[in-house]
Amino acid sequence: MMTEAIEAISNNPEITTRELANIMGVDQQELFYTLNDEANGGNLIRHMVFVENGTSRPTLCFGWSCPTL
């Protein structure tokens, strides 16, 4: 699962957990915990992303990116 996630994150900087879970067809919460463990280990960068939701107040979500080597 992580190889597919890393590839999707590499191709789409600032992808949200929801978008990634939809692409991969996995549970969003389970994916978040897995990605969070990777971020704590230094393999991913976790950050906040504003996502437009059709209202005047965008939603704040977790986004993911790969560290630059």
Reported as a single tens digit per residue, the pLDDT across 7-52 is: 888 888 778 888 899 999 999 999 999 999 989 998 888 888 888 8
Domain CATH number, residue 50: 1.10.10.10
Q: Is 35 exposed, middle or buried (0-12, 13-18, 19+ CB in 10 A)?
A: buried
Residue 55 confidence (pLDDT) above 80: yes
Strand, helix or coil at 56? coil
Provide the pLDDT confidence category of residue 68 given band limits of 50, 70 and 90.
low
CA distance 62 to 41: 17
Question: C-alpha angle 6/22/63, rounded to 5°?
Answer: 50
pLDDT value of position 40: 92
Instruction: Give the max Cα distance, the chain.
Output: 38
Please say if the pLDDT value at position 6 is more than 60. yes
Count of structural domains, the chain: 1
Residue ranges making up the domain that contains 18: 2-65
Q: What is the pLDDT of residue 51?
A: 81
